[in-house]
Amino acid sequence: MSRGPLELPAEDRALSPHTGWVRAHWEATADQLVDAAWRWASPGGALLDLPGRSSVSGVRSDGLEGFARTFLAASTRVAGAGGEDPHGLLGRYAEGLAAGTRTPGRPDAESWPLILDHHVRGQPMVESASVALGLRLSRPWLWDRLDDAVREGAEAWLRGALRHTPAPNNWYLFPLTVAGFLESVGRGDAETARAIERGLGLLESWYRGDGWYADGDGRAFDHYNGWALHLYPVLHAHLAADQHLLDVYGPRLAAHLDGFASLFGGDGGPVHFGRSLTYRFAAGAAVAAGALTGHTPLSPGASRRILSGCLRYFIDRGAVDGDGLLTLGWHGPHEASLQPYSGPASPYWASKAFVALLAPADDPLWTATEEPAPTETEDRVLALPAPGLLIHTTAADGIARLHNHGSDDIRPHEGNIAHLHDPLYGRFAYSTRTGPSAPTNTPDNHVALEVDGVQSLRCRIRPLGAGHGDGVAWAASAHRPVFPSGPPMVPGLRVDSMTVVRGCWELRVHRVVGAPLGGSRVRLSGWATGPDEPLVSVLVGLYGWDSSGPEILRAPGGTAFTRWATVPRLTASLTGSDGVVVALAALTGEGARPPSEVTTVAVVESASADAVEVRWSGDGARTRVDFTPRLAVRHVG
């Protein structure tokens, strides 16, 4: 059957009752995505110059990116089929490899750019990892059949990744991947050993617990955990049959998936959070790696449900254009989902999801009957103290939400300044059905202090704790508001924030400390929704607001999910330098407006605003949020 520009097999609802997709759909998708990209190849096949805006790295680097990232799809597809290559994919890549590495660095029609330091147009280092991993996976059918001169040229080019400085984050896993390949073909030495030792050593220093790595020395926790920080070391260990490394990285992957698997919605979509979202179904790479190696809490049927659901989610929603190419964006093209390093071939890092094809056709991943994904089976609240994240799902509408009290994309040496604000990290909540509103529009899921008419931004986030139990979960953080213009940073100014989840509800408590006297306001917004993704966004003021009902503001720039949106917002006028505000928010599926859940709310010891206590309707349970001596939550059933 046809899905847009792709020609796919008929659905199999017996084996896959949730998605209808089986292994044949994966193979057909990989084949057609690769074939479409090759229509834009250079004469010698070394560069795939896909149409579109160039990245900051330039057109030649973008062409290498097209080769390397589609090669990853082709190599996993052929390796998973035991070398069967019905479309002759590997022959094309063998010719392109030879042409690209014959005279690298020359400005001719085929030569690949040299691998240099990350700050000197360093993108080729990223692509070297995809080339190396593709060669490692397809070794019997490609590398082993190359002429010695081609192998020598390819090795010389790849070694540039070992001799230059990566970016200070997951990039250190790219030289590791190159070194792992070279050692696997008998070309290891002290240089490759050093690259592997260095990469694994840094990875160890970035591990924070709960199955989550920081992406570097800061506090960036996002999809790079799955498609980079878990994927590369686990595949390296798996392909090398290194049981010692698998015993280290395998359990961490399983712990990661225990929470991460709940960040795929009932419609298959992953949570819209963090950078590089144009990689789309690469979000399933960690799920695939877990199923391949056995390091997963998921059954094979549930793993395939997540993987096929995610792949189909994007194919069905316009991720592939009329030429069969992956677009730069989310569903379809979407400029706000991109970073400056994104070029026409960048979306093909989605090829990492095809790691699932490394599991052979008779593996339970492909033969077991699909089972529901975690989001579809029950409501779930899960606090992850290490990254400062709170996962919140509701089975009735299949929405997964991520409340962010610990992840930002600010490196340790960078200041807490306005231009570092990123809507893909700085908002308090994200979901599988909504995206952040445009930077020039009213921000969604944001708390701002307004001084002299200028609203503050949330940049660097300091986690204060997280926990869960008895059906209630919470996470808390603090930040120092910064202003893009107008008033300077105020010494001692901070906002303490806590999200408490109960059912579909989010209790949002914010305490402002040290605000300038005279005219300061607090503004809190809820979920951004619009006509293209019909949902219900509720925001109710419980304490401290000028009015309990929100004003509804327009966000004509829309989100990745809807071309136009509205955002509910509450306002509180501060009478002193400190103040507490409490609100109730919810995001539900269309027609599922939640009933009122809170009957009373009070600030205890109001002179110092030390605590807030909320009594819930129905069972009369109480939730108490204490700000001193340290921020904590207690729930009394």
CA dist 177 and 129 (Å) reads 6
Q: Which residues pair with 606 in a beta bridge?
A: none
CA dist 62 and 123 (Å) reads 9
pLDDT grade, residue 298 (50/70/90)?
Answer: very high
pLDDT at 262 > cutoff 80: yes
Q: Where are the alpha helices (DSSP H) in 408-562?
A: 423-426
pLDDT at 554: 97
pLDDT at 66 > cutoff 70: yes
pLDDT grade, residue 593 (50/70/90)?
Answer: low
Q: Rg of the chain's alpha carbons, rounded to an integer?
A: 25
Q: CA of 635: how far to CAs of 15, 177, 504, 616, 626, in Å?
A: 43, 47, 17, 11, 11
pLDDT grade, residue 159 (50/70/90)?
Answer: very high
pLDDT in tens, 490-499: 789 999 999 9
pLDDT grade, residue 35 (50/70/90)?
Answer: very high
pLDDT at 25: 98
pLDDT at 5: 84
How many other CB atoms are found less than 10 A from the CB of residue 447?
Answer: 24
CA dist 293 and 354 (Å) reads 14
pLDDT at 628 > cutoff 90: no
pLDDT at 617 > cutoff 90: no
DSSP 368-418: SPP---HHHHS-EEEEETTTTEEEEEETTTTEEEEEESS-----TTS---G
CB 368 within 8 A of CB 194: no
CA dist 47 and 102 (Å) reads 13
318-322 average pLDDT score: 96
Q: CA of 486: how far to CAs of 40, 415, 481, 483, 518, in Å?
A: 49, 18, 13, 7, 15
- Tokens linked to 244: 């010692």
CB 98 within 8 A of CB 92: no
Q: Is 487 exposed, middle or buried (0-12, 13-18, 19+ CB in 10 A)?
A: middle
> What is the maximum span of the chain, computed from C-alpha positions, in angstroms?
80
469's CB contacts (< 8 A; 6+ apart) are 635
pLDDT at 311 > cutoff 80: yes
Q: Which residue has the tokens 């793993």?
A: 303
pLDDT at 469 > cutoff 60: yes
pLDDT at 416 > cutoff 60: yes
Per DSSP, the three-state class of 360 is coil
pLDDT at 2 > cutoff 50: no
DSSP state of 608: T
pLDDT at 1: 36
pLDDT grade, residue 637 (50/70/90)?
Answer: low
pLDDT at 412: 87
pLDDT at 608: 56
pLDDT at 348: 98
CB 105 within 8 A of CB 114: yes
pLDDT at 595: 64
- Residues of the chain with pLDDT > 90, as a percent, come to 83
- Residues of the chain with pLDDT > 70, as a percent, come to 96
CA dist 131 and 42 (Å) reads 17
Q: Comparing C-alpha atoms, which of 220, 370, 248, 391 is closest to residue 309?
A: 370
φ, ψ (nearest 5 deg) of residue 538: -120, 135
Please give the torsion angle defined by the CA atoms of residues 229, 399, 542 and 476, in that order, rounded to the nearest 10 degrees: -10
pLDDT grade, residue 488 (50/70/90)?
Answer: low
pLDDT in tens, 549-591: 899 999 999 999 999 999 999 999 998 888 999 999 999 997 6
Lowest pLDDT segment from 9-18, 128-137, 419-428: 419-428
pLDDT grade, residue 3 (50/70/90)?
Answer: very low
pLDDT at 57 > cutoff 90: yes
pLDDT in tens, 351-367: 999 999 999 999 999 99
62-85 average pLDDT score: 98
269-281 average pLDDT score: 98
pLDDT at 620: 81
Q: Where are the domains of the chain?
A: 2-376, 378-636
pLDDT at 471: 64
In the predicted model, what is the mean pLDDT of the chain?
94
Helix or strand (DSSP H, E) at 178? helix 173-184
pLDDT at 487 > cutoff 80: no
201-217 average pLDDT score: 97
User: What is the architecture, at CATH level 2, of domain 378-636?
Assistant: Distorted Sandwich (2.70)
pLDDT at 460: 95
pLDDT grade, residue 4 (50/70/90)?
Answer: low
204's CB contacts (< 8 A; 6+ apart) are none
* CATH class of residue range 2-376: mainly alpha
